[in-house]
Amino acid sequence: MVKIHDNIGNLPRHIAVIMDGNGRWAKQHHLPRIMGHRKGSETVREIVRECRTLGIEVLTLYAFSTENWNRPKTEIRALMALLKKFIHSEMRELHENNIRVNMIGDLAKLPEMVMPSVREIMDYTRGNTAMTLNIALSYSGRDDILRAVRKLITEKKISPADITDELFSSHLDTAGQPDPDLLIRTSGELRVSNFLLWQIAYSELYITDVLWPDFNKKELTKALREYQTRRRRFGLTDEQMRNA
């Protein structure tokens, strides 16, 4: 596996990103908010390519939360149109690079204008194995957990004693994937914003003041170098980790 820092640790298997700051970037540049989102989509392209080059197994991007439905309707329509455009412009390259695209969240709430494109890219890339790109749409961590609970309840012959961490995880949107090793948040906000609440229990957090449209390969390298200096104990002591 490729190392960013030759002497310290390995790269994370799974990177999750809260892509924040598109609106502030547009405001700083005296542009409409949608221009920030468009610039942010260019950053998505760059970061996906870099993660694929580095051999990252899973990259999860927080694109649109359930709370984002409360934004002005004009902005939501523009975001959905941008999503549709992004899917069609990137689908071939993603497939050629053996990247599987997996949309997670309450997809039933997405407008009909984007659903055919969402289904198409998931179907088109379903058999790819080099990397999984999760795009969180209409997503919230609490909703993910609630939907998992509902799935468990509707299954027959499931008793409380049968519900383990592994079984519960298998009903989440990220079923079958490793939990995020590294959670990156851009724009400097110090919160997780209802993102992957179950999955990030032991994720390393990296917060940067850089706005998402300005988060490039160099900034990703900084995050990975910082990650490689962390000592992950998972609740154990240093002595236990040495003897593990």
- Give the residue extent of every domain in the chain: 14-243
pLDDT digits (tens, 9 = 90+) for 43-91: 999 999 999 999 999 999 999 999 999 999 999 999 999 999 999 999 9
Instruction: Residue 13: name the closest of 93, 136, 131, 175 by CA.
Output: 131
Which pLDDT score, from 0 to 100, does residue 7 have? 40
- What gap in Å lies between CA 12 and CA 107, rounded to an integer? 28
Tokens linked to 201 = 């229990």
Q: Is the pLDDT of residue 241 over 80?
A: no
Quote the mean pLDDT of the chain. Answer: 93
What is residue 240's predicted lDDT score, i.e. its pLDDT? 63
Is pLDDT of 2 > 70? no
- pLDDT at position 102 over 80: yes
Q: For 154-193, write each residue's pLDDT tens digit.
A: 887 788 888 999 999 999 999 999 999 999 999 999 999 9
Rounded to whole angstroms, what are the CA distances from 215 to 24, 42, 218?
13, 10, 8
User: Class of 14-243 per CATH?
Assistant: alpha beta
Q: Are 58 and 131 in contact (CB under 8 A)?
A: yes
pLDDT at 158: 82
Max Cα-Cα span within the chain: 59
% of the chain with per-residue pLDDT over 90: 86
For the cut 70, the answer to whether the pLDDT of residue 236 exceeds it is no
pLDDT over threshold 50, residue 239: yes
Place of tokens 């992004």: 86
Q: How many CB atoms lie within 10 A of CB 99?
A: 22
Torsion of CA 135, 60, 191, 199, to 10 degrees: 110
User: Which residue, among 211, 190, 185, 192, has the nearest Cα to 33 in the 3D structure?
Assistant: 211
The DSSP-derived string for 43-98 is HHHHHHHHHHHHT-SEEEEEEEEGGGGGS-HHHHHHHHHHHHHHHHHHHHHHHHTT
pLDDT score for 169:
97
Kindly list the catalytic residues: 20, 68
Predicted local distance difference test score (pLDDT) of residue 6: 47
Across the range 115-124, mean pLDDT stands at 98
Q: Are 17 and 189 in contact (CB under 8 A)?
A: no
Tokens of 81: 């149109």
40 close to 63: Cβ distance less than 8 angstroms: no
pTM above 0.75, yes or no: yes
For residues 121 and 137, the answer to whether their CB atoms sit within 8 Å is no
- Of 2 and 195, the structure prediction assigns the larger pLDDT to 195
- Which pair of tokens denotes residue 199? 């999955």
